[in-house]
Amino acid sequence: MNLIIDVGNTYTKIGVFEESKIVYKKRIEQYHFKEAIQNIKEEYPLITNAIISSVSTIEENHITHIKRMYHTLMLDHQVEMPFKNLYKTPTTLGIDRLALVAAAVDQFPNKDVLVIDAGTCITYDFKNKKEEYLGGAIGPGVRLRYESLHNYTAKLPLLQVTDPKNHIGNSTEEAIHSGVVFGILHEIDGVIEEYCNIYTDLTVILTGGDAHFLSKRLKNSIFATSNFLLEGLNHILAFNNSK
């Protein structure tokens, strides 16, 4: 069994896999880390391997704690990937994006796949039928757009994410909701259409914290999944342990 740890900008996500099947998932804040790991150790004593991915800061004692219990792979740019990375600056590529591409390779082999991760940022990552990662795009996510409007203007309020009732906002608050939410939806649909013009048999994956909120509002056909990044990390771990 494998222990998968993804340290994000806001939360740490933990998964337990039995081969390729996820049997446990939890999202925690870092101060609950050791308690959560101890509970998992007691509930899943057959775990032998772990992988840690971090796009934020993880306390060194947390890493040490995991390494004492399991054979642990720290994901970085030196770790071998199950695809060919054609990104021009591979050391600047977020390791979370590497994991998403690994999941695409594992679950959709020999297909053109666009992975959209709607989190703090919205990232677009593309791998082709030859299992080559070509790159993608990075833009601000839903909450980041709300915060930017508030932080970089004198009078616009900071609002919570809300489903706008109409494209035409007839108050400042409704105008903000319309601008943020419909702006993102049109952006995502537009990016998908651009890719479809080039890759006619394109598979589109939508994942990340805002995937559920956005998926039912998009006009394009997509696969929405909340576990894609954890599944990608599990595949990277299995790929490296098979060597």
The response to whether 200 counts as a known ligand-binding position is no
The rounded Cα 82 to chain-centroid distance in angstroms is 18
Residue 210 marked in a binding site? no
Q: How far apart are CA 80 and CA 86, in angstroms?
A: 14
96 catalytic? Reply is yes
Q: How many of the other CB atoms lie within 10 Å of CB of 164?
A: 19
87 is in an annotated binding site: yes
Do the Cβ atoms of 146 and 180 come closer than 8 Å?
yes
8 known member of a binding site: yes
- The answer to whether the annotation marks 97 as part of a ligand binding site is yes
Distance CA 141, CA 138 (A): 9
CA atoms within 13 A on the CB side of 142: 23
Q: Which of 76, 96, 106, 125 is catalytic?
A: 96
Residue 117 annotated in ligand binding: yes
Which is it for strands 71-74 and 84-85: parallel, antiparallel or unpaired? unpaired
Q: Is 125 annotated as a binding residue?
A: no
Residues annotated as part of the active site: 96
Q: Point out the annotated binding site for ATP.
A: 6-13, 120
Residues annotated within the binding site are 6-13, 87, 94-97, 117, 120, 172
Annotation: binding site for substrate: 87, 94-97, 172
